[in-house]
């Protein structure tokens, strides 16, 4: 399996930002019907200190098999400068290499890169697209029309390529194309309130014991379920009221709270009320004839 060493650069004497963002890109062609594995990748700044007409800036350098689409996420430096439309996160599977250079305007310069060259296990990323894109995103939010002076960036990559079946190659290209379509996903996590963190998944002993239950009002509704003498008068409820009770009884509640509805016009409605209601209340209005009867042409009753 041959290993190809690639050296390409992006060089410009001067360019102007548009709304605080400048995008520079170079396309590198590779062989088709091959799988490619990135063994090594590095970025070298031929111009160590690019000239900016702004004090603070952020430079994102990416190596990808598909073009880079910026996101709506922001980058903040020292809580003083905020730059919009950063590149996709390094977790995005089409990102083979990413380097971020920040300058806070006070002479403090920081460089971070992915994957880190000092990790003990050398990462290798495989792709099928017959392309490599060297992309630079320059953020100069303090000056929407910033002037960027001489810029020269060189990429070095050691790529191992091998022949693969056409089906494997085609499916790999389609997959990477689909990944590129969703690379600009803005948020993929959820916020958990600290009070809900412990016990939300485990440990179960945090919420031991029986779940509380609501108490139904004896003065209003208990007579509906008590056994009564055939001659003893009882309160008659309307179908609308019973259906409202069924809806209140089916109400879900957060963890540790009793199922049902605590405050209604009929008082507290516990969840077990739904087991005591009449069938017509649960399944809708009762038909005039139940079960329905259908007659054949000769007058016989059909079994449905």
In tens digits, the chain (304 residues) has pLDDT values of 678 899 999 988 877 777 788 899 999 999 999 999 998 899 999 988 777 767 788 899 999 999 998 988 888 887 778 888 889 999 889 999 999 998 877 777 888 988 877 664 565 789 999 999 999 998 887 666 777 778 899 999 999 999 999 999 999 999 999 988 888 776 677 788 887 777 667 666 666 667 788 888 766 565 555 555 566 666 667 778 778 888 888 888 877 788 889 888 778 888 888 777 766 676 555 556 566 678 888 888 886 6
Contact 78/104 with Cβ under 8 angstroms? yes
Give the pTM. Answer: 0.66
Among residues 177, 227, 232, the alpha carbon closest in space to that of 64 is found at 177
Which of helix, strand or coil describes residue 111? strand
According to DSSP, the residues that pair with 21 across neighbouring strands are 18, 139
pLDDT for 193:
81
DSSP string, 115-153: S-TTSSSPP-EEE--SEEEEEEEEE-TTSTT-EE--EEE
* CB atoms closer than 10 angstroms to residue 147: 15
* CB atoms closer than 10 angstroms to residue 200: 12
CA dist., res. 14 & res. 149, Å (int): 5
């Amino acid at each position: 399996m041959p290993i190809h060493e690639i050296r390409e650069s992006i060089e410009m004497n001067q360019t102007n930002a548009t709304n605080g963002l400048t995008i520079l890109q170079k396309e590198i062609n590779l062989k088709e019907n091959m799988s490619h594995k990135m063994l090594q990748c590095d970025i070298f700044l031929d111009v160590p200190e690019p000239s900016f007409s702004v004090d603070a800036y952020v430079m994102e350098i990416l190596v990808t098999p598909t073009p880079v689409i910026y996101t709506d996420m922001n980058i903040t430096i020292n809580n003083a400068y905020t730059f919009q439309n950063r590149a996709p996160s390094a977790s995005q599977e089409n990102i083979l290499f990413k380097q971020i250079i920040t300058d806070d305007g006070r002479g403090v310069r920081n460089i971070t890169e992915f994957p880190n060259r000092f990790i003990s296990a050398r990462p290798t990323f495989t792709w099928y697209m017959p392309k490599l894109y060297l992309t630079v995103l320059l953020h100069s939010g303090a000056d929407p029309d910033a002037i960027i002076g001489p810029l020269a960036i060189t990429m070095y990559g050691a790529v191992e390529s091998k022949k693969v079946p056409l089906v494997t190659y085609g499916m790999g290209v389609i997959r990477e194309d689909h990944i590129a379509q969703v690379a600009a996903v803005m948020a993929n996590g959820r916020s958990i309130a600290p009070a809900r963190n412990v016990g939300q998944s485990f440990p179960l002993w945090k919420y031991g014991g029986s779940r509380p239950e609501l108490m139904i009002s004896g003065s209003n509704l208990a007579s509906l379920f008590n056994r009564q003498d055939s001659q003893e008068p009882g309160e008659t409820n309307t179908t609308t009221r019973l259906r409202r009770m069924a809806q209140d009884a089916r109400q879900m509640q957060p963890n540790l709270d009793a199922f049902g509805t605590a405050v209604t016009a009929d008082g507290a409605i516990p969840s077990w009320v739904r087991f005591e209601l009449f069938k017509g209340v649960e399944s809708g209005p009762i038909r005039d004839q139940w079960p329905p009867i259908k007659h054949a042409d000769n007058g016989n009753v059909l079994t449905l």
